[in-house]
Every structure is written in structure tokens, then in C-alpha cells.
Amino acid sequence: MSWTIERRGRVAVVTMTTNPVNAQNRAFFADLHDAFDRLERDHADSPVVLTGTGSRFSAGLDLGEHFPLFAGDTAAVASWFQEYRATNMRLFTYPRPTVAAVNGHAFAGGLITAAVCDHRVAVDDESARFGLNEVPIGIPMPAVYVRMLAYAWGEPVAARTCLRGEIFTPRQAHELGMVQELASAEELLERAVAVAGETPEDSIEPYAFTKRACQAAALRDIAELSDPLDKELAAVMSSEGARHAHRRYWQQLKGRPADW
């Protein structure tokens, strides 16, 4: 299902609706690109708010689609990763203000999608959980995402969250600087729209230039350091140890053995 785009004044609010928990799969990737194609065509000068529905922002990778992929041919994994990388790179470098209105749970790739926005407002709800659980379930964190997270959160927090797989409440995430603000569920979207609209209409191009300048070192590191390292990603993703961890987590998650 294509994502919805609703105008709130100058701001374009994009609601992710690929599936009930916004699990990230090839349909999700296609929906993201379709939404940003429409933004560029119909809302070119609009700041953007990105949000989910219900109590979930995004559950991260669709493991039912991806664990079988990771158990197969490394060339297929490498091809898939280029598609995945392109989604978050497009969001990270989008030349307009981008604000994530994190309405609920954001795990793994879902939290990365929030992190690569310029600003993050999270729901102040102690039942919501945020975390990067890739390593404990046998998924290596792509180097390109580590650089993006270091830009967004700083090196120590990026390293801690990537390596340890901890799960945080919104207030813990706020204390660590993973999100800049908290707001009640009732006020979340309104606050995210207000932040997105703070850049004056006649200052959008200066914002875009300054965003490029702020990200220049991160983009250099991605090109020179992360991309060469990520050539090893498919082999690590599909290693026997990683596949064992995938099967272990699947059994824990679903209560049944993996059939791949």
C-alpha cells in the first residue's frame, strides 16, 4: 500500500502504511521510494514529517523475508543490501528538513529510519521500546549505518547501541540523545510538524546547503571507509554462525524451528 502524504500547512506528513507494523521488506523499500518521488514532484519545497500508525513506528527488517534470504546465496544478499542502503541514504540526504514523529516501537532498521531524519520527536509512552537488536540475533550492522548513527547520536552512543543490542524506553533514549524531544501521543504529530516548519520558506535552499555541509564528513567516511567495508557484509550475514543465530532467534520468536 502506498504511503499517505498529507499537507499540514507547508509541511508534508508522510505516514508509513506498508503493513501493520511497517516491517521493512522490498515492498516497504518500494513504498519509501514512491513516497519520496511524490514529495519531489508535488511537495518539492515542503519540510517532511515521517511517522507510523498505531503503537509502532517500524518493527525493522521483515525477518520472515530476510532470514531465508540470508541463508542463501551471498550474491543475492549483496544485491538486496544495495536496495536497502539506497532507502536510508535517500532519507539521510533528502535536501529538506526531515522530522521523525516516532509514534511507538522502533526496532533495528526501523530505529535507523528514524535516526537518519534530521530531528526526532518520540512519544512519551513508557510502553514504547527502541533498540538496535541486530548483533544479538546474528545480523551485522552495516558500516554505512554505523556512520549515519554516529552522525545522529555521536560515536559513543552509536557504538553502545550497535554493539550491545540494548532496548530502551523513550525517556532512556532521550537521555542518551537518540531522540531530541518527547511529546504525548496526542501532541506528537503537532510538535513534529511545528519543528519541521521552523525553517522559513525562503530559507529552504540555505538549509539544504547547510545540511550537505554538516553531513560532508559522514558522507566522505561512508564513501571511503564504510562502503569498502560493507563489501564483506554479505559473507558475514550468511556465515554459519550468523545462520545459527538467525535460527535461534526464529525459534525464540515464533516458537517453532526454522524451515530454511
CATH number at residue 97: 3.90.226.10
Full residue range of the structural domain in which residue 175 is found: 4-188
Q: Is residue 121 part of a domain?
A: yes
H/E segment holding residue 39: helix 26-42
- Global pTM exceeds 0.85: yes
Gap between the Cα atoms of 40 and 150, Å rounded: 27
Split into its structural domains, the chain has a count of 1
Whether 112 is in a domain gets the answer yes
Question: Is residue 205 one of the residues assigned to a domain?
Answer: no
**Catalytic residue annotation:** 134
Q: Is residue 228 part of a domain?
A: no
Question: Do you know the residue count of the chain?
Answer: 260
Q: What is the pLDDT of residues 166-199, one digit of tens each?
A: 999 999 999 999 999 999 999 999 999 999 999 9
pLDDT tens-digit series, residues 37-92: 999 999 999 999 999 999 999 999 999 999 999 999 999 999 999 999 999 999 99
Asked whether residue 219 is domain-assigned, the answer is no
